[in-house]
Amino acid sequence: MSPSANSLAWIYLAIAGACEWGWPVGLKYGLSPTGLRWSWILFAILCMTASGAFLLLAQKTIPMGTAYAVWTGIGAVGAFSLGILLFAEPATLARFFFVGLIIAGIAGLKLTSSH
């Protein structure tokens, strides 16, 4: 396998992880006290679909367990960050510490991936 194919797979995985940020945001904005906001629900569904599609492409090269762990980690870190930025969720030192552990896990999986 060429280095460029492996690099492309990791780019696909990063895109898949970033798409993971859209669906919790879409669901959060999609539910309002007055009812559902269908445009946000549709946005969430599109993000879910794109995320799965890019994960599929990444798994052609990256082992499934690694790809899945990194994908969910990118999604979790992004959702955590967007929660703070968009929804005024708590930004405590303890929360940042544990998200840092997720980031360390993602980096470790990338560095030790044999593919």
pLDDT digits (tens, 9 = 90+) for 16-39: 999 999 999 999 999 999 999 999
Residue 3 pLDDT > 80: no
pTM for the full predicted model = 0.85
pLDDT digits (tens, 9 = 90+) for 83-105: 999 999 999 999 999 999 999 99
Q: What is the DSSP string of 27-56?
A: HHHHEETTEE-HHHHHHHHHHHHHHHHHHH
Number of domains in the chain: 1
The percent of residues in the chain predicted with pLDDT above 70, rounded, is: 96
DSSP state of 62: S
Residue 113 pLDDT > 80: no
The pLDDT value recorded for residue 114 is: 66
Domain of 78, in residue numbers: 3-112
The pLDDT value recorded for residue 112 is: 86
